[in-house]
A and B are shown apart, each in its own frame.
Chain A
Amino acid sequence: MDQSDNQLIAAALAGSLPAWDALVRRHEMRVYNLGLRLLNNPDDALDLVQDVFLGVYRNLYRFRGESQFSTWLFRIVHNKAVDLIRRRQAGPEIEDWFEEGTPEPANNLPGPLDSYLETEMNQRISQFMSRLPPAQRLIVELKVFQALTFEEIAPLQDIPVNTAKTRFYTALKNLKAMIEAQT
């Protein structure tokens, strides 16, 4: 019978390596795929997974079981992802990180094999995501892939709920423009 997250946490806190391993395996794929979409690079996504679970391990004793483990985990994931995006995105635009705006142009040079790569669904989606300003990228991830409510997203990004909704709307418009440009 599968153990609950709380049972695994209790066992991991008591020093059980198999319990810790099971807890990580249960949640790592969600974190990794989030990393792939937000960072558009498998190495960075794996860095994110390692950062996140190191943070989880160090803070596990603080988890009180009042919220779901996945909710608590997600706060760590969000903060680590923001850190990583900031570190990967060197340059002057770091100042207007949370500015609303038009999508960034694609970093990659266009080439004859682009259309081949873009038939790969994930490649296409992470390309779209990577062209969004980071704040919009995060909100799309949280809303569409993680199915958080705007009431949950707003405090994570430290913005009012209405701003979160406007940012999401702007992101969808940008994505729509990219999808149309590709078809």
Chain B
Amino acid sequence: MSCPHTPEIIADHCDADVPAEVLQRHRVHLDTCWDCRQELLSLRGVPGELLRWQSIPLPDWDRSGMVKSTSRRKTLASRSYQWPTIGQWLPLVASLLLAVAVMTQTRLTIGPQGWSVSFGVQSAVLSAQQLDEYLTAHANTSQTETREWVEAALQTHGQTTADSIYQWMTYIEQQRALDVQRMDAGFEQLMNRDFQTVDSVRQLASYVLYQEAP
């Protein structure tokens, strides 16, 4: 290629959405550029060669297999909803905790007596056991709130079907996932404020993830 315009001209020649004024500019260039004309003549047939491909139908495969294996939906005989486990709420709790940690200038200290978390100017210290208790309490509160909410809804709609319960629960789960995403985004912004805090928070995050692992 000896002309710098060749790639764009060849590419635009194969693009149905190129604006008319760009094509006009290319035409003017082609009038005076032998290299581009030659390349266009040489390569214009290549896409057509490829498009001689004959579409082949798929062999038979199990399209609903993923639905059966992924779905938490119960059969009619066994449609009692199982309450989410603590592990399902932990990401949200972790995000909340990390956000609080950043806001309150949390520091993590590791010493001979184990580790501790301090807030601001060493005014308060949180031990590993307290953190555990906090996480458990928070997860329990979340579960209780959701359970109460669903039960209230059930009483209001006496004729509720198992289908709609499933839809509510899916909705709630999606909302939780969205909350976590929002918290993550906010957390990313906060992270940029203070490197030392970030470092503490990262260690805290590793701790929480470690706790979350089965």
Interface: B56 (CB within 8 A): yes
Instruction: Report the stretch among A76-84, A89-97, A111-119, A139-147 that lies at the interface.
Output: A139-147
CA distance A61 to B170 in the complex (A): 9
Interface SS of chain A = helix
Chain A residue with Cβ nearest B12: A165
B25 vs chain A, min Cβ distance (A): 15
Complex contact A58–B46 (CB within 8 A): no
Contact of A169 among B7, B50, B57 (CB under 8 A): B7
Complex contact A53–B63 (CB within 8 A): yes
Complex contact B58–A179 (CB within 8 A): no
B175 vs chain A, min Cβ distance (A): 11
Q: A29-B57, A121-B52, A175-B46 are in contact. Are A57 and B167 (CB under 8 A)?
A: no
Q: List residues of chain A with CB within 8 A of the CB of B66.
A: 50, 53-54, 57
Contact with A along B56-84 (1 / 0, CB 8 A): 11110101101100110100000000000
CA distance A21 to B166 in the complex (A): 21
CA distance A13 to B53 in the complex (A): 35
Contact with B along A97-137 (1 / 0, CB 8 A): 00000000000000000000000011001001000000000
Complex contact B14–A144 (CB within 8 A): yes
Contact with A along B1-14 (1 / 0, CB 8 A): 10000111011101
Interface: A17 (CB within 8 A): yes
**A39-85 residues at the B interface, CB under 8 angstroms:** 42, 46, 49-50, 53-54, 57-58, 61
Contact of A29 among B15, B58, B64, B67 (CB under 8 A): B58
Which A residues have a C-beta under 8 Å from some C-beta of B?
13-15, 17, 20-21, 24-25, 28-29, 32-33, 36-37, 42, 46, 49-50, 53-54, 57-58, 61, 121-122, 125, 128, 140, 143-145, 147, 149-151, 162, 164-166, 168-170, 172-173, 175-176, 179
User: Given A53-B63, A169-B11, A172-B47, list of 4 further CB < 8 A pairs?
Assistant: A57-B66, A143-B14, A168-B11, A176-B46
